[in-house]
Amino acid sequence: MGTDIKIDNELDVKGFVCPRPMVMTMNILKKMESGQTLKLIANDSSTKHSIPALCERAGYKLIEETDEGGEVTFIIQK
């Protein structure tokens, strides 16, 4: 992750399976201000597809996605 990215909120959904991680992500993003960033950490393989799709549908910017040993981290800007 770039050092110039300010993280406003962090959500750890490891251990939850779809659709729960996506629902939890949508709920926190709804409460955030435009321009704020969310760091999302997940280990459910379906999030690799559902979170980028959510960002595209809702108009959020997916700044970064990393997968390290099955743990996926997303940086999302509202």
Backbone angles phi, psi at 5, to 5 degrees: -90, 120
Chain-centre distance for alpha carbon 6: 14
Helices (H), the chain: 20-31, 47-58
Taking residue 21's Cβ as centre, other Cβ atoms within 10 Å add up to 26
Q: CA–CA separation, 67 vs 18, rounded Å?
A: 17
- Supply the residues annotated as catalytic: 18
